[in-house]
Amino acid sequence: MDNNQPRRFRTIDYALALLLAGIAFLFYYVTLTPSLSYLSPDGNELATIPYVLGLAHMPGYPLYTWLGKIFTFLPFGDVAHRVNLMSAALGAVGVGGLYLIITSLLHQRAASPILRRAGASLAAALFAFSPTYWSQAVIAEVYAPNIAMVALTLLALLHWERTRRDRDFFLFALVFGLSLGTHISNLGFAPAFAIFILLTDRSVLKRPTWWIAGLAGFALGAAQFAWLPLKASTLNDRIMLEHAPTTLKGIYNYTLGAFPQFKFAFTLSEIPDRVVVYLYLLTHQFGRLSLLLGVIGMVALLLRRSRHYYLLVGMYLVHVWFFIQYRAFDLEVFFLPAHFIWAIFLAFGIPEVLGWLERTIIRLTGGQPSRPSQWAMAIVTVGLALIPLGHNLSTSDRSYDVSINDFYANVWEMLPSDSALLTQGGVFGYDAFYWQLVYGTRQDVLLPALPTPNPAPKDILGRDLYSTTQVIGPNRARGPGGLPPDLVSNELWQIPILTGAQSGTSGLNPRGRLVLYQLSETPGNLVVDEANPTIPLDVDLKGLTLLGADVDPMNVESGSRIHLTLYWRLDRARPYQIETALDGRSVEIHDLGLGNLERYQAEIGPVLDRVILEDYWLVVPSTTPEGTLELTVRIVGHEETITITELAVVDQEEAMERWLRIAGKSSSVP
């Protein structure tokens, strides 16, 4: 805040910052992901690493790891839930910090105090409930904690600006150095910080104590990266191991030199298109009007706070310039610091518009605007925050995202003793690794990709084989998480025996279907000559006939599974996709024959006019309400839905209690 502001006004702003942070945290908490999630490609790794105090993927994120470890000591929820909660808590800190930054910079001439605070509150709320930031505040990821660190860094710098004390500059440099442990791209803000310092007080360059304070603070914060070589032995990702931070060169490659294939990946001729992409992402966060209000705010910032203009615009331009040339499929999350700064521009633009309206009222009425009219304008302004809140609530709500935990709870129950479970390796394998690393679940089951991303056939010799990833055939998982192609014989069959539910009401998980495969030398009873279903149906679907089904049990606990057998007769050779639903809500989608029909016909014999058996277990989501629900199937693309039977779903145990109970099991459950 301005130095000449009375203490009473500073207290009001601190209270409003706390209120905004509290409201943001409340909504983040209500929409929080219960545990593991696929919303982030590496979120499950980031939910696990803090607990085991290991080394995360490049660039390591030491501070994130240590803060996450603190949150794992919370006495409720599972470990992943607690780390998710860290994102919510620090995401709320970022919102409160944003408000304090804004109110410390807003000029008194922009508008009356009520309207300035209303504009600042609206800008902070627009950022808090923007779709990308909200999505990162409800999962285990680095981006919401990083915004908190960016906010604290700016607040520390502005505090030094007011006091000019060396000890306060030490604090700023320390927080800046620490912020690299939530995202190393924050280092790009250094030139803007340097310009701001020179514009604020060049005389500090002549003070040795100032230099010592700054260098000591930053060095102390950056010393966290000594964690990398100390924990390099915990790495089990193929790419990370290639650049293991065990030497000075390795540390550089793991931090500043990480992911060179993503950086500056576009030519100069492609930059205009990349700018368009960024502008689309910006308007997706704040709306199209935000472009105009942000530009107005930048002009106001230049005219009223020129020193801070160069600071914030410098930070903004460096960040945008770097990441518009960054090739990543989840590009939107990398722009969050730029969106944070744009929210400050909005906060300067909104009061300018409000101040113009206020002055217009004065001219039209010939007198000062009344306090009630100011409050009315303020209430309307703050009320605009309800628009993004209502619009983004449903899409940002991840409280239903239980699919991974439900799936693995059933996997651990089904796997026989001393079997081997083949999963993706490295960062992408933590949806399975989490259970053994955190809870020691089913230690008799070997996860070959956990100790090394390059397991050998001898490692799994003599064990019953199962997998949660394609390890055979042309659809075999490749890339960083893919297993060695010679790990298992290509002659084996991958037979789906358990299918997990989808997250949400539509669409597949970003990582595909949740399936437990049994690896077998034969395809089993995939195609037979006769059908004897306990539930006869005989529904002709024009080329495919559903003869009937078997369902067991008919009473099932939510989060558990049912044994489902579908009997089909194929009359016309064409691909079909089958969707299973409970009470009209899609549970899973699979190819007819569970993906093995084409191979069966090529290697064993014809399938036309014969009975195709789909025999598998189906997870009933733990979010399924109690009651009698219809189990239905349909062919994707066809309107007709076939009711198989009614299931009695009971909710005897909270999902979290069930997950924790199963996580602690040391042997299989029949």
In the chain, ranges of CATH 2.60.40.770 domains = 403-663
- The tokens describing 119, both together, are 């504009």
Residue 480's pLDDT band (cuts 50, 70, 90): confident
% of the chain beyond a pLDDT of 90: 73
Q: Inform me whether the pLDDT recorded for 509 exceeds 60.
A: no
Query: What residue type is assigned to position 576 of the chain?
Result: Y
How many of the other CB atoms lie within 10 Å of CB of 282?
Answer: 21
Mean pLDDT score, 177-200: 97
Q: Inform me whether the pLDDT recorded for 451 exceeds 50.
A: yes
Q: Inform me whether the pLDDT recorded for 1 exceeds 50.
A: no
Residue 572's pLDDT band (cuts 50, 70, 90): confident
Q: How far apart are CA 553 and CA 534, in angstroms?
A: 13
Query: Is 190 exposed, middle or buried (CB count within 10 Å of its CB: 0-12, 13-18, 19+)?
Result: middle
Q: What pLDDT is attached to residue 445?
A: 96
Q: Collapsing DSSP states into helix, strand and coil, what is residue 89?
A: helix
More confident residue, 4 or 463: 463
Query: What residue type is assigned to position 588 of the chain?
Result: E
User: Are the C-beta atoms of residues 159 and 101 closer than 8 Å to each other?
Assistant: no
User: Are the C-beta atoms of residues 429 and 42 closer than 8 Å to each other?
Assistant: no
Which range is least confidently modeled, 26-35, 125-134, 377-386, 499-508? 499-508
Mean pLDDT score, 362-383: 74
- The tokens describing 100, both together, are 């304090």
Q: Inform me whether the pLDDT recorded for 662 exceeds 90.
A: no
Average pLDDT along the chain: 91
Q: What pLDDT is attached to residue 370?
A: 65
Q: Inform me whether the pLDDT recorded for 667 exceeds 60.
A: no
Sign of the C-alpha dihedral computed for residues 548, 554, 557 and 558 taken in this order? positive
Query: How much of the chain is helix, strand and coil, in % rounded to 5?
Result: 55, 15, 35
Residue 666's pLDDT band (cuts 50, 70, 90): very low
pLDDT digits (tens, 9 = 90+) for 10-45: 888 999 999 999 999 999 999 999 999 999 889 999
Q: Which of 177, 465, 126, 476 is nearest to 293 (CA)?
A: 126
Q: How far apart are CA 364 and CA 529, in angstroms?
A: 88
User: Are the C-beta atoms of residues 149 and 186 closer than 8 Å to each other?
Assistant: yes
Mean pLDDT score, 62-80: 96
CATH architecture label of 403-663: Sandwich (2.60)
The pTM of this model reads: 0.93
pLDDT digits (tens, 9 = 90+) for 613-633: 999 999 999 988 899 999 999
Q: Inform me whether the pLDDT recorded for 416 exceeds 90.
A: yes
Q: How far apart are CA 334 and CA 340, in angstroms?
A: 11
Residues 156, 198, 181, 261, Cα dihedral to 10°: 150
Which range is least confidently modeled, 71-75, 444-448, 569-573? 569-573
pLDDT digits (tens, 9 = 90+) for 311-347: 999 999 999 999 999 998 889 999 999 999 999 999 9
Which range is least confidently modeled, 268-282, 313-327, 471-485? 471-485
Give kind and range of the element (H or E) at residue 144.
helix 143-163
Q: Inform me whether the pLDDT recorded for 515 exceeds 50.
A: yes
Which range is least confidently modeled, 4-8, 142-146, 203-207? 4-8
Which range is least confidently modeled, 85-89, 331-335, 512-516, 663-667? 663-667
Q: How far, in whole angstroms, is CA 605 from its chain's centroid?
A: 45
How many of the other CB atoms lie within 10 Å of CB of 76?
Answer: 8
Q: Collapsing DSSP states into helix, strand and coil, what is residue 418?
A: coil
Q: Inform me whether the pLDDT recorded for 220 exceeds 90.
A: yes
Q: Inform me whether the pLDDT recorded for 670 exceeds 50.
A: no
How many of the other CB atoms lie within 10 Å of CB of 443?
Answer: 10
Angle of helix 113-128 versus helix 371-383 axis, rounded to 10: 10
Query: What residue type is assigned to position 142 of the chain?
Result: V
% of the chain beyond a pLDDT of 70: 95
Mean pLDDT score, 595-617: 92
Q: Inform me whether the pLDDT recorded for 200 exceeds 60.
A: yes
Q: What pLDDT is attached to residue 383?
A: 87
Q: What pLDDT is attached to residue 503?
A: 60
Residue partners of 143: CB distance under 8 A and separation at least 6: 133, 136, 183, 333, 336
Residue 95's pLDDT band (cuts 50, 70, 90): very high
